[in-house]
Chain A
Amino acid sequence: MQSTWYPINMSRFKIRRRSRREAHLGDLVFSYLLRLLSLGLALLLLMIGFFLFRGAFASISRFGWDFITGSVWDPVQEIFGSAPVLYGTLVSSLIAVIIAAPLSVGIALFLNELAPPLISRSIGFLIEMLAAIPSVVYGLWGIFVLAPSLRTRVEPALVKYLGWIPLFSGPFYGVGMLAAGLILSIMIIPTIFSLSREIFRTIPMAQREAALALGATRWEMMKISVLRSSKSGIGGAIILGLGRALGETMAVTMVIGNRAEISASLLAPAQTMASVIANEYAEASNDIHLSSLIEIGFLLFVVTFIINGFARIFILRESKS
């Protein structure tokens, strides 16, 4: 018995080895292919950076740091200071994050911890669909719905009751920094929401039960077991949302009013890095104007690159622990 059994087994062993080696070859080819692809993508990124830099070179060498600190953007006089658009990008994105972050994290928490599965799934799906709406559609909605209702209802009330705060003073037009911030906040909700929910989902049931078994209420359980242990992940999600807001172009261009001026009031029109490029690129009057716009693109590229890098680091740190 033993003697007939043994060779059969051996031959099986050989066959398996051969097929393994073939599979191994396939693995090798595939992994080199993937490596090549990822290398290519990294190269593409570098090349985009390089071309932006080259295009911006004329402006960089002419204005130097004044380009960033200068507060006048006047294509006619060929004075290009990007402080107003840097300010516009920063403030509109901050408004967006301040509104969207607590809302998205709150909704994610509610859907994951409290809502019945059916509601959780359907609302979650709808929120994620917000990300699929084209930016220009948001812009249209901004122009035809959001801006008019801001102008006729919200902004008069803001000026009346909070007008003593510089943020809500001065004339208002509907379009402006506030409208841009609001529309951005809606657009980044899906980003922050999905990531936060993913993070909450990775928290084991045992963590929640540990808190409940100690006599925690639902809310206390969420604080101890869920929120506390996902702090850095939520931080990453918010930063990623910020990154999206910084670069968003179309919708913002349509509702921000496009005036490159720094104003204390959120009701005033403003301009962002992305919107100034979208607005002026097609009709750039001369080479230095063009180069200045490319320099803004370059700055935006660097900033969003860094911001996204930070977000990944945060999220990575979370998933490791």
Chain B
Amino acid sequence: MNTKAILEVKDLHAWFGNTEAVKGVSLSAAYNAVTAIIGPSGCGKSTFIRCLNRLHEELPGAYATGHVLIENIDIYDKKVDPVSIRRKVGMVFQKPNPFPSLSIFDNVVAGLKLAGVKRQSTLKEIAEQSLLSAALWSEVKDKLHAPGTSLSGGQQQRLCIARALAVEPTVLLMDEPTSALDPISTAKIEELMTELRKKVTIVIVTHNMQQAARISDQTAFFLSGELIEFGETSQVFTAPQKEQTERYITGRFG
């Protein structure tokens, strides 16, 4: 594993109008590392990762300050166009959200088409690759032109992962990607992530401690908008430095 940091967050603050939801978070992630974000509900996990592709600011009244370096480019630099950032930073949401008006195939290549790829053969090739990477190919290869919403919840989520992978992002953000899924689909997606990490740096929000322990290299524990503890996953789960972390991961949290 290359240890050079690909993602560096420095003193990130995020606001909803007058309320500060993320209060000065700094952390970094190496190439191909999986970073888990854990913490109680409402502590700012979603807000935090939505700042990493500048999606946070799309909500009315929301804004963020600080620095987020991706491959040494500060995405909060005034000269940077958020649209170009979002092509490099993929995102998978808590609830599967395929485009209902598009077919499975068109869902997967939607990002490519936005990026201006037009050649049908290229699109087909990348669609197959992405669906293979998302472990969905065998299930949908015979009905690529059915609507994306005709799939089951777990399949839709993998379709969304394929859609995010198709544009070959350097960082993949996942906000509780398995919380709406059954154990089997969850296991599939976890398995998938151990494959995906070879190609892409993953930041995942999860409420599932076992999941965080299983799949991540490093873990960040958030509490009311602040980063309480950040370190190697094994260390955070076996020998947490802060009392609050220990209380949370042992389930004794207030």
Interface, chain A (partner B; CB < 8 A): 116-117, 204, 206-217, 220, 224-225, 228-229, 231, 321
- Whether A228 pairs with B97 at a CB distance below 8 angstroms is no
Is B170 interfacial (CB 8 A cutoff)? no
Nearest B residue to A205 via CB reads: B59
Alpha-carbon separation in the docked complex, A228 to B65 (Å): 34
Within 8 A of A (CB), among B61-93: 83-84, 86-87, 90-91, 93
Alpha-carbon separation in the docked complex, A209 to B97 (Å): 9
Please name all residues of chain B whose beta carbon is closer than 8 Å to the beta carbon of A210 when the two chains form the complex: 93, 97-99, 160
- Whether A215 pairs with B111 at a CB distance below 8 angstroms is yes
Our pick among B53, B84, B97, B115 for the contact of A207 (Cβ within 8 Å) is: B97
Is B100 interfacial (CB 8 A cutoff)? yes
- Whether A220 pairs with B114 at a CB distance below 8 angstroms is yes
Please name all residues of chain A whose beta carbon is closer than 8 Å to the beta carbon of B60 when the two chains form the complex: 116-117
Please judge, given known A-B contacts A217-B83, A220-B114, whether A212 and B58 are in contact too, CB under 8 Å: yes
Is B45 interfacial (CB 8 A cutoff)? no
User: Measured between C-beta atoms, what is the minimum distance from A210 to chain B in Å?
Assistant: 4
User: Measured between C-beta atoms, what is the minimum distance from B149 to chain A in Å?
Assistant: 9
Interface, chain B (partner A; CB < 8 A): 53, 55, 58, 60, 83-84, 86-87, 90-91, 93, 95, 97-102, 110-111, 114-115, 160, 163-164, 167
Nearest B residue to A220 via CB reads: B114
- Whether B55 pairs with A224 at a CB distance below 8 angstroms is no
Given A213-B164, A224-B110, A225-B99, 8 more pairs with CB closer than 8 A: A117-B60, A206-B97, A207-B99, A207-B100, A208-B58, A212-B86, A214-B110, A220-B114
**Complex A-B, nearest 10 residue pairs according to Cβ-Cβ distance, in ascending order:** A215-B87, A213-B91, A214-B111, A228-B101, A229-B101, A206-B97, A215-B86, A210-B97, A216-B114, A229-B100
Alpha-carbon separation in the docked complex, A207 to B98 (Å): 8
Please name all residues of chain A whose beta carbon is closer than 8 Å to the beta carbon of B111 when the two chains form the complex: 214-215
- Whether B90 pairs with A213 at a CB distance below 8 angstroms is yes
**8 pairs, A vs B, C-beta closer than 8 Å:** A206-B97, A207-B97, A209-B55, A215-B111, A215-B114, A215-B115, A216-B83, A225-B99
- Whether A321 pairs with B84 at a CB distance below 8 angstroms is no
Please name all residues of chain A whose beta carbon is closer than 8 Å to the beta carbon of B90 when the two chains form the complex: 213-214
Nearest B residue to A321 via CB reads: B100
Alpha-carbon separation in the docked complex, A225 to B115 (Å): 16
- Whether B55 pairs with A212 at a CB distance below 8 angstroms is yes
Alpha-carbon separation in the docked complex, A228 to B114 (Å): 15
User: Measured between C-beta atoms, what is the minimum distance from A200 to chain B in Å?
Assistant: 14
Please name all residues of chain B whose beta carbon is closer than 8 Å to the beta carbon of A220 when the two chains form the complex: 114
User: Measured between C-beta atoms, what is the minimum distance from A293 to chain B in Å?
Assistant: 46
Please name all residues of chain B whose beta carbon is closer than 8 Å to the beta carbon of A212 when the two chains form the complex: 55, 58, 86
Nearest A residue to B59 via CB reads: A205
- Whether B95 pairs with A228 at a CB distance below 8 angstroms is no
- Whether B101 pairs with A231 at a CB distance below 8 angstroms is yes
Alpha-carbon separation in the docked complex, A117 to B100 (Å): 27
Our pick among B58, B84, B97, B98 for the contact of A215 (Cβ within 8 Å) is: B84
Please judge, given known A-B contacts A206-B93, A224-B110, A229-B101, whether A215 and B55 are in contact too, CB under 8 Å: no
Alpha-carbon separation in the docked complex, A110 to B87 (Å): 25
Nearest B residue to A231 via CB reads: B101
Alpha-carbon separation in the docked complex, A164 to B100 (Å): 47
User: Measured between C-beta atoms, what is the minimum distance from A234 to chain B in Å?
Assistant: 12
User: Measured between C-beta atoms, what is the minimum distance from B153 to chain A in Å?
Assistant: 14
User: Measured between C-beta atoms, what is the minimum distance from B89 to chain A in Å?
Assistant: 8
Alpha-carbon separation in the docked complex, A73 to B60 (Å): 59
Please name all residues of chain A whose beta carbon is closer than 8 Å to the beta carbon of B53 when the two chains form the complex: 213
- Whether B55 pairs with A213 at a CB distance below 8 angstroms is yes
Please name all residues of chain A whose beta carbon is closer than 8 Å to the beta carbon of B167 when the two chains form the complex: 214-215
Please name all residues of chain A whose beta carbon is closer than 8 Å to the beta carbon of B84 when the two chains form the complex: 215
User: Measured between C-beta atoms, what is the minimum distance from B159 to chain A in Å?
Assistant: 11
Please name all residues of chain A whose beta carbon is closer than 8 Å to the beta carbon of B110 when the two chains form the complex: 211, 214, 224
Please name all residues of chain A whose beta carbon is closer than 8 Å to the beta carbon of B160 when the two chains form the complex: 210
- Whether B99 pairs with A215 at a CB distance below 8 angstroms is no
Alpha-carbon separation in the docked complex, A215 to B88 (Å): 8
Alpha-carbon separation in the docked complex, A215 to B160 (Å): 14
User: Measured between C-beta atoms, what is the minimum distance from A273 to chain B in Å?
Assistant: 37
Please judge, given known A-B contacts A206-B95, A209-B58, A224-B110, whether A214 and B163 are in contact too, CB under 8 Å: yes
